[in-house]
């Protein structure tokens, strides 16, 4: 903000600049920032920020995120990975192959409905419901490494 727009410009010529004569405007009487959260500001911290202090859970040293990386895609979004034309041409004899790992997903999840068009889905993981719904539509689930 520019200096000309600050509230202090209006207070020029007024002795205490809105901070009162008796109490005086002292620099940081209760500490800077979050100081005193376990001491003189404890009531505020307990009231408005419960659970702010302390630890919870177990520590995992040298946590590598690669092992747990498993983005999922739901069945209702599965057909967005292939073109509309391939969906129209799909028949029981010539089912389209959807490789979800090429699109950056590892796991197929079972939310939503599939159109009753057979489809071959390749993924690293399938949820139980996803597998049931794909097979009910006449498709197949292929696990890839």
Predicted confidence band of residue 84 (pLDDT cuts 50, 70, 90): confident
Return d(Cα 18, Cα 139) in angstroms, integer. Answer: 75
Return d(Cα 15, Cα 136) in angstroms, integer. Answer: 82
The closest alpha carbon to 140, from 113, 124, 122, belongs to 122
Under a CB-based contact definition with an 8 Å cutoff, are residues 68 and 127 in contact? Answer: no
What per-residue confidence (pLDDT) applies to 20? Answer: 95
Tell me the per-residue pLDDT of 88-133, one tens digit each, with 9 for 90 and over: 887 778 899 999 999 999 999 999 999 988 999 999 999 999 999 9
Side-chain-side CA neighbours of 134 within 13 Å: the count stands at 26
Residue the block writes with tokens 């419960």: 50
Percent of residues in the chain assigned helix, strand, coil, to nearest 5: 25, 15, 60
What per-residue confidence (pLDDT) applies to 89? Answer: 84
What is the C-alpha radius of gyration for the chain, rounded to an integer number of angstroms?
31
Which residues are paired to 122 by β-bridges? 99, 142
Residue the block writes with tokens 């999840």: 109
């Amino acid at each position: 903000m520019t200096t000309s727009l600050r509230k202090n410009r209006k207070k020029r010529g007024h002795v205490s600049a809105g901070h009162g004569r008796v109490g005086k405007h002292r620099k940081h009487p209760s500490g800077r920032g979050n100081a005193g959260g376990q001491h003189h500001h404890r009531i505020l911290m307990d009231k408005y920020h419960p659970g702010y202090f302390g630890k919870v859970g177990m520590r995992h040293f040298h946590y590598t995120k690669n092992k747990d990386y498993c983005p999922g895609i739901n069945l209702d979004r599965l057909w967005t990975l292939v073109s509309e034309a391939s969906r129209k041409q799909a028949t029981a004899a010539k089912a389209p192959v959807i490789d979800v790992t090429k699109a950056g997903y590892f796991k197929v999840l079972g939310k939503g409905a599939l159109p009753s068009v057979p489809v071959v889905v390749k993924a690293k993981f399938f949820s139980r419901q996803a597998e049931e719904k794909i097979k009910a539509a006449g498709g197949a689930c292929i696990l890839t490494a």
